[in-house]
């Protein structure tokens, strides 16, 4: 998933149920990408966040023509983390829908 830009099955990641305070990091290079405070339950089956850690990710339009999605990649190693959508809650209105297998979790 991290290198081939695919999406894991919904509800397959143990990170969906993670509720502790901590940091989500890129599984490829360990760069911290999301704080637990930004996590919310989106009901989609993937770990979702309102915003990344500033400067941690880069985005680009998805290569699939019939879907209007934006890919999210690790700034340091380029690993594919997931997608971002404009249907999230306040304060950003964004939903960073991430692949759990593309991240690790470290307790704060």
Classify residue 20: in a domain, yes or no.
yes
- DSSP 8-state secondary structure symbol assigned to residue 1: -
For the cut 90, the answer to whether the pLDDT of residue 108 exceeds it is: no
Print the domain residue range for 69.
Answer: 14-107
Q: Output the six-digit token pair for 103.
A: 């991240």
**Catalytic: which of 26, 29, 77, 97?**
97
- Specify the CATH number for the domain of residue 77: 2.170.150.20
CA nearest neighbour of 5 among 68, 98, 105: 98
Classify residue 19: in a domain, yes or no.
yes
Query: What is the number of domains present in the chain?
Result: 1
Q: What is the per-residue pLDDT for 3?
A: 64
Active site annotation includes 74: no
Classify residue 77: in a domain, yes or no.
yes
Tens-place pLDDT, residues 21-76 = 999 999 999 999 999 999 999 999 999 999 999 999 999 987 665 667 899 999 99
Classify residue 72: in a domain, yes or no.
yes
Residue by residue, DSSP assigns 21-54 as SEEEEETTT--EEEEGGGEE--SSSS-EES-PPT
Classify residue 8: in a domain, yes or no.
no
Classify residue 7: in a domain, yes or no.
no
Classify residue 93: in a domain, yes or no.
yes
Classify residue 6: in a domain, yes or no.
no
pTM given for the model: 0.91
* Mean pLDDT, range 94-99, rounded to an integer: 96
């Amino acid at each position: 998933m991290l290198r081939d830009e695919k999406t894991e099955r919904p509800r397959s990641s143990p990170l969906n149920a993670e509720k502790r305070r901590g940091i989500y990091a890129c599984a490829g290079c360990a760069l911290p990408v999301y704080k637990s405070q930004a996590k919310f339950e989106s009901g989609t089956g993937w770990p979702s966040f309102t915003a990344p850690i500033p400067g941690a990710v880069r985005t680009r339009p998805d290569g699939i023509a019939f879907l209007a999605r934006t890919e999210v990649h690790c700034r340091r190693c380029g690993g594919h983390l997931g997608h971002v959508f404009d249907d999230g809650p306040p304060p950003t209105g964004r939903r960073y829908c991430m692949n759990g297998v593309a991240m690790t979790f470290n307790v704060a």
